[in-house]
Structure 1
Amino acid sequence: MAPPRDFYADLGVPRTASQDEIQRAYRRLARRYHPDVNKSPEAEERFKDASEAYSVLSDPEQRRRYDAFGPDFRRVPEDVDPETWARARTGAGRARTGAGAAGGFGGIDFEDLFGDVFAGRRAGARRTPYGGGWGPMPGADQEAQVELSVAEAYRGTRRQLTISGPEGTRTVEVNIPAGVTDGQRIRLAGQGGHGTDGGPSGDLYLVVSIRPDERYRVEGRDIFLRLPVAPWEAALGTTVPLETPGGEAKVKVPAGSSSGRRLRLRGRGLPNPRGAPGDLFAEIQTVVPPHLTDEERRLFERLAAVSTFDPRERR
Structure 2
Amino acid sequence: MDFKDYYKILGVEPSADDKAIKAAYRKLARKYHPDVSKEPGAEDKFKEANEAYEVLGDAQKRAEFDEIRKYGGQHGRPFQAPPGWENRGGGGGGFDNGDFSDFFSSMFGARGGSPFGRGQQQQRSAGRRGQDVELELAIFLEETLSKDSKQISFQVPQTNAMGQRTGFTTKTLNVKIPAGVTDGERIRLKGQGAPGLGGGANGDLFLTLRLAPHPQFDVEGHDLIITVPLAPWEAALGAKVAVPTLTGRINLTIRPDSQSGQRLRVKGMGLTNKQGERGDLYAQLKVVMPSQSDAKARELWSKLSEQAAFDPRANWSK
- Aligning the two structures, in what range does the TM-score lie when normalised by the shorter sequence? 0.5 to 0.7
What pairs up with 1:1-315 in 2 under 5 angstroms?
A: 62-63=19-20, 65-66=22-23, 71=28, 72=49, 75=54, 76-80=56-60, 91=73, 94=76, 105=101, 107=103, 109-111=106-108, 116=114, 123-124=122-123, 134-155=125-146, 158-167=150-159, 168-177=168-177, 179-293=180-294, 295-314=296-315
Quickly say closer, same or farther: Cα 1:176–1:266, change in 2 above 3 A. Answer: same
Indicate if the aligned counterparts of 1:191 and 1:202 stay in contact, CA closer than 8 A: yes
Quickly say closer, same or farther: Cα 1:274–1:202, change in 2 above 3 A. Answer: farther
> Could you tell me which amino acid in structure 1 is paired with residue 130 of structure 2?
G
1:311 and 1:186 map into 2 onto residues whose CA distance is: 51
CA deviations over 1:40-84 (Å, ceiling 9, x no partner): xxxxxxxxxxxxxxxxxxxx9755632599744754434258686
TM-score w.r.t. structure 1 length?
0.62
1:91 and 1:70 map into 2 onto residues whose CA distance is: 26
The alignment covers a number of residue pairs equal to 248
CA deviations over 1:204-257 (Å, ceiling 9, x no partner): 111111223332222332222211011111122222111122221222223322
Indicate if the aligned counterparts of 2:107 and 2:114 stay in contact, CA closer than 8 A: no
Quickly say closer, same or farther: Cα 1:255–1:171, change in 2 above 3 A. Answer: same
Indicate if the aligned counterparts of 2:128 and 2:199 stay in contact, CA closer than 8 A: yes
1:186 and 1:173 map into 2 onto residues whose CA distance is: 14
TM-fit CA distance, 1:95:
7.1
- Give 3-state SS (helix, strand or coil) of 2:234's partner: helix
CA deviations over 1:117-149 (Å, ceiling 9, x no partner): 997xx8456xxxxxxxx4344323221111233
CA deviations over 1:146-165 (Å, ceiling 9, x no partner): 12333334436512312232
- Give 3-state SS (helix, strand or coil) of 2:314's partner: coil
> Could you tell me which amino acid in structure 2 is paired with residue 199 of structure 1?
G
TM-fit CA distance, 1:258:
1.9
- Give 3-state SS (helix, strand or coil) of 1:248's partner: strand
TM-fit CA distance, 1:5:
9.9
The more displaced of 287-296 and 254-263 is 287-296
Gaps (5+ residues) in structure 2?
1-7, 12-16, 29-48, 80-88, 92-100, 160-167
TM-fit CA distance, 1:271:
1.6
TM-score w.r.t. structure 2 length?
0.62
2:116 and 2:172 map into 1 onto residues whose CA distance is: 34
2:191 and 2:244 map into 1 onto residues whose CA distance is: 40
Aligned to 2:95: none
2:116 and 2:134 map into 1 onto residues whose CA distance is: 28
Which of structures 1 and 2 has the bigger CA Rg?
A: 2
> Could you tell me which amino acid in structure 1 is paired with residue 138 of structure 2?
E
Quickly say closer, same or farther: Cα 1:151–1:68, change in 2 above 3 A. Answer: closer
Identical-residue share of aligned pairs (%): 29
> Could you tell me which amino acid in structure 1 is paired with residue 211 of structure 2?
I
Quickly say closer, same or farther: Cα 1:237–1:110, change in 2 above 3 A. Answer: farther
TM-fit CA distance, 1:262:
1.7
Q: Kindly indicate which of the two structures has a greater share of residues assigned to helix.
A: 1
> Could you tell me which amino acid in structure 1 is paired with residue 133 of structure 2?
Q
- Computed over aligned residues only, the root mean square deviation of the Cα atoms, in angstroms, reads 4.2
> Could you tell me which amino acid in structure 2 is paired with residue 160 of structure 1?
I
